[in-house]
């Protein structure tokens, strides 16, 4: 039952991260953008670190053939790509207002709910492998969720939601992580080898998010030596956190 307790506590913490949007209420756009870039850098490092230091080595150590592990990693990457493309929505041409939030705001909520559900599945599946792998994966998800939830909050406000409504809806979508963890834990007890499938899939998912979503976001910024150096330090910092977590194993 220990993995159930750890999983549910972890996904509850991940869900509460959605309330980080409150911080955006006291920060101006310029300051928020500056902070976000370094959070995104740290997040990219932690996702890469968890994938290559924890998840992939763990997957290789199982009885699953190496070729199958590689295919599951690729499936995780492809799945993330398909979900991103599928969840895209046309832009609404009616002027935005609180009475008419743009459709992209609603699609952002839907996409966020699916994303959090998958995060819950991954966290639950990780704890089925071991507590240290679960902790490492939870931290990687949390580091990723902080800049993402700040960004999601901004999208909803820009789409016409009031700040209070944006915060509430963002929190509701975050609760799907709990549903995802419960599904993973239930399937893990019913299906032998479930966690062996989830772990390489999670690695592929993390590699895609870090490499396709986060790193390109950093490259959009005006290249300055000091900024780039600090971003590199943050990326390495994220990897080092995952490396230090090996001490728990």
Sorting pLDDT into bands at 50, 70 and 90, what band is 94? Answer: very low
Sorting pLDDT into bands at 50, 70 and 90, what band is 217? Answer: confident
- C-alpha closest to that of 120 among 173, 58, 51: 173
For residue 99, the model assigns a pLDDT of 54
**Cβ distance 5 to 161 under 8 Å?**
no
Which pLDDT tens digit goes with each residue over 28-71? 667 766 777 888 899 899 999 999 999 999 899 887 889 999 99
User: Which of the pair, 46 or 108, is modelled with greater confidence?
Assistant: 46
Distance CA 47, CA 55 (A): 10
CA 196 to chain centre: 20
For range 134-153, the mean pLDDT: 85
For residue 239, the model assigns a pLDDT of 94
Lookup result for tokens 């705001």: 105
**Cβ distance 200 to 73 under 8 Å?**
yes
For residue 53, the model assigns a pLDDT of 93
**Cβ distance 137 to 50 under 8 Å?**
yes
For range 154-159, the mean pLDDT: 72
Of 78-92, 127-141, 166-180, 213-227, the range with the lowest mean pLDDT is 78-92
For residue 200, the model assigns a pLDDT of 93
Which pLDDT tens digit goes with each residue over 164-186? 888 888 899 999 999 999 999 99
Of 69-78, 101-110, 207-216, the range with the lowest mean pLDDT is 101-110
Distance CA 41, CA 126 (A): 24
pLDDT of 18 strictly over 80:
yes
Residues in Cβ contact with 247 at an 8 Å cutoff, skipping those fewer than 6 apart? none
- Tokens at residue 4, please? 């159930």
Lookup result for tokens 């972890």: 10
Distance CA 127, CA 138 (A): 9
pLDDT of 131 strictly over 50:
yes
pLDDT of 91 strictly over 50:
no
Which pLDDT tens digit goes with each residue over 64-80? 889 999 999 999 999 98
Sorting pLDDT into bands at 50, 70 and 90, what band is 158? Answer: low
- Tokens at residue 193, please? 């080898």
224: left (phi over 0), alpha (psi -120 to 50) or beta: beta
pTM: 0.79
Distance CA 173, CA 140 (A): 19
Of 93-97, 153-157, 186-190, the range with the lowest mean pLDDT is 93-97
pLDDT cut 70: percent of the chain above it: 86
CA 146 to chain centre: 9
């Amino acid at each position: 039952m220990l993995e159930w307790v750890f999983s549910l506590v972890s996904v509850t913490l991940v869900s509460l991260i959605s309330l980080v949007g409150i911080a955006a209420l006291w920060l101006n756009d310029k300051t928020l953008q500056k902070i976000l870039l370094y959070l995104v850098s740290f997040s990219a490092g932690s996702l890469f670190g968890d994938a290559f230091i924890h998840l992939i080595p763990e997957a290789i150590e199982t009885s699953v053939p190496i070729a199958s592990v590689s295919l599951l990693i690729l499936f995780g990457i492809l799945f993330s790509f398909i979900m991103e493309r599928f969840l895209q929505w046309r832009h609404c041409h009616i002027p935005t207002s609180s009475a008419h939030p743009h459709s992209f705001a609603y699609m952002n909520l839907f996409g966020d709910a699916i994303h959090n559900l998958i995060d819950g599945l991954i966290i639950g599946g990780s704890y089925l492998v071991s507590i240290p792998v679960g902790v490492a994966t939870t931290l990687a998800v949390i580091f990723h969720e902080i800049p993402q939830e700040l960004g999601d909050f901004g999208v909803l406000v820009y789409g016409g939601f009031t700040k209070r409504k944006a915060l509430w809806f963002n929190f509701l979508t975050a609760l799907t992580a709990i549903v995802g963890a419960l599904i993973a834990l239930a399937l893990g007890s019913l299906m032998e080898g479930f966690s062996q499938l989830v772990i390489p899939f999670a690695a592929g998912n993390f590699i895609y998010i870090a490499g396709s979503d986060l790193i390109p976001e950093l490259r959009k910024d005006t290249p300055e030596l000091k900024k780039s150096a600090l971003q590199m330090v943050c990326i390495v910092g994220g990897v080092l956190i995952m490396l230090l977590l090996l001490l728990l194993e």
